[in-house]
Amino acid sequence: MQFCPKCGIRLKKGTCQKCGYAESEAKQDTKKKSQEQKSELTILDENDAKQTLPTITIDCEKCGHTEAVWWMLQTRSADEPTTQFYRCIQCNHTWRNYA
């Protein structure tokens, strides 16, 4: 935001509405926002994810193994509870629980 050096009023588009003061073209600043878009998507390796996620004792629906990793995501609206996901450590079967 810039102000007129003569009367102190805020300049609109480099010109004072009260006294007529105008900034020179060279003095006016223009801002450009440039955003770089990444074309890559980084995905965790299944083995890396298993090492960092917490484990729980729960029966796998597919193979019957009793240990799985789990995580939670907000899949519905904000006023609804989160959805819990489980992945069996043995067979990699993934299922969810709508808490």
- Catalytic status, residue 80: yes
Q: What are 51's two structure tokens?
A: 């090492």
Q: Which one is catalytic: 25, 29, 40, 79?
A: 79
Catalytic residue positions, numbered:
79-80
